[in-house]
């Protein structure tokens, strides 16, 4: 019995050992299969990664850097530095807050009174009109507005109820060049217009006393109608439309605009921005509507806006589409400019690749700005 028990125990031990060996091989084989699968999975992942890295690892979306002005010296652009110093001396004597000169696409000179710098935001006053003109041009380019020849009754059919033949003939073109034929002007109606409950209705209710296109009568309300038309045509205020199609593409981040009682952007007088952004608008027009390789405004609109549309036969400049036109310097270089009350200016002299932006709070004669521009133009070699 003891002998048989001993044999049985030995047999059991052998069986246990065999089972252990078998289990060892099973687990070993499973581990090898697992390792092989892992290796294969990594290899497959690497191949996929080579084809499309985003499948395996995520990357942060790229954000385009904002466009910034480059700077250079006056001398590198053949501008007489002593003559520009004389310009600074002149500016010192007047309430002119800031001045920037852009030559060949770079800033070569800037001047700031104490308390102001390139980030200071200035109300443009009537220089706003040139901004609104740019937005109307873009709206036409993009098909929101058919053309400058569209009668404004398309947007304000109530004027047809007046029975006035002249009013029915007013077009967007007439608004652009202040030849509506309406008996209204900034000189006679400014305060009353601003105090009215509805700026658009105030303009449309004025009597028509001349055939549209025959008499120049400068009135900010004309430009306000352009802003109202833009809002009807696009479903956006002039400010929001500008952010999408003009201010945004040019990184004009400082732009602001007030509104009338009905929430329509004050396109004739309410835009504000810093002087760097003012210079950007001038540079865009200098480059025929192209910015950083992109056509922001059609070259045809730039051409039409900055050439003579109506000969006033008086004053110191003629008129395009909400831009003034005249010459500067001893050589009478053709130029165009935006002009606002108290001395807000964007001057462009294409033949010299020159843009000058000026902001002021000066109520005197505009002749000082002609002197400044003549001196800057003459300083360019």
Residues 6+ away with beta carbon under 8 Å from 233: 139, 144, 145, 155
Residue spans of the chain under pLDDT 70? 1-64
Same structural domain for residues 41 and 86? no
pLDDT of residue 312: 79
Clarify whether residues 14 and 120 are in a common domain: no
What pLDDT is recorded for position 314?
75
List pLDDT tens digits, range 326-350: 999 999 999 999 999 999 999 999 9
Domain hosting residue 10, numbered range: 2-55
Place of tokens 């059609």: 298
Kindly state whether residues 8 and 85 are assigned to the same domain. Answer: no
Sheet holding 324-328, edge to edge: 106-112, 96-103, 354-360, 344-349, 333-340, 324-328, 318-319
**271 and 341, same structural domain?**
yes
| Residue 29 falls inside a structural domain | yes
Tens digits of residue pLDDT in 59-118: 555 656 789 999 999 999 999 999 999 999 999 999 999 999 999 999 999 999 999 999
Share of the chain above pLDDT 70, in %: 83
pLDDT digits (tens, 9 = 90+) for 26-52: 444 443 334 444 344 434 444 334 444
Answer yes or no: do 154 and 30 share one domain.
no
Q: What is the pLDDT of residue 211?
A: 97
Count of domains observed in the chain? 2
CA distance 222 to 64: 38
Q: Are residues 323 and 294 in the same domain?
A: yes
Same domain, 26 and 79: no
Give residue 135's pLDDT: 98
CATH number of the domain that 260 lies in? 3.40.710.10
Let me know whether 255 and 318 are in one domain: yes
């Amino acid at each position: 019995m003891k002998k048989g028990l001993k044999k049985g125990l030995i047999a059991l031990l052998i069986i246990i050992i065999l089972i252990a060996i078998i289990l060892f091989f099973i687990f070993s084989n499973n581990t090898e299969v697992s390792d092989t699968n892992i290796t294969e999975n990594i290899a497959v992942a690497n191949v996929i990664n080579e084809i499309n890295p985003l499948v395996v690892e995520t990357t942060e979306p790229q954000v385009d850097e904002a466009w910034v002005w480059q700077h250079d010296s006056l001398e590198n652009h053949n501008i007489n530095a002593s003559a520009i110093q004389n310009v600074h001396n002149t500016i010192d004597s007047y309430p002119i807050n800031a001045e920037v000169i852009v030559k060949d696409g770079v800033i070569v000179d800037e001047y700031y009174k104490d308390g102001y710098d390139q980030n200071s935001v200035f109300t443009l006053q009537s220089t706003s009109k040139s901004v609104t003109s740019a937005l109307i041009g873009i709206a036409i380019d993009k098909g929101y507005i058919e053309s400058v020849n569209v009668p404004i009754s398309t947007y304000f059919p109530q004027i047809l109820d007046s029975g006035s033949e002249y009013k029915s003939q007013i077009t967007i073109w007439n608004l652009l060049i202040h030849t509506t034929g309406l008996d209204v002007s900034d000189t006679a109606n400014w305060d009353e217009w601003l105090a009215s409950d509805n700026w658009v209705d105030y303009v449309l209710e004025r009597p028509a006393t001349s055939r549209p296109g025959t008499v120049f009568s400068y009135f900010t309300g004309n430009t306000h109608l352009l802003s109202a038309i833009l809002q009807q045509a696009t479903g956006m205020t002039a400010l929001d439309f500008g952010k999408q199609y003009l201010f945004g593409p040019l990184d004009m981040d400082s732009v602001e605009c007030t509104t009338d009682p009905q929430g329509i952007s004050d396109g004739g007088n309410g835009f504000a921005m810093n002087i760097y952004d003012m210079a950007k608008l001038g540079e865009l027009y200098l480059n025929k509507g192209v910015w950083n390789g992109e056509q922001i405004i059609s070259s045809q609109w730039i051409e039409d806006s900055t050439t003579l549309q109506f000969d006033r036969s008086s004053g110191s400049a003629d008129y395009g589409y909400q831009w003034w036109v005249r010459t500067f310097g001893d050589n009478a270089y053709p130029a165009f400019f935006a002009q606002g009350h108290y001395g807000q200016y964007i001057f462009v002299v294409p033949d010299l690749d020159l843009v000058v932006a000026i902001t002021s709070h000066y109520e005197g004669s505009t002749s000082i700005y002609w002197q400044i521009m003549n001196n800057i133009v003459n300083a360019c070699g």
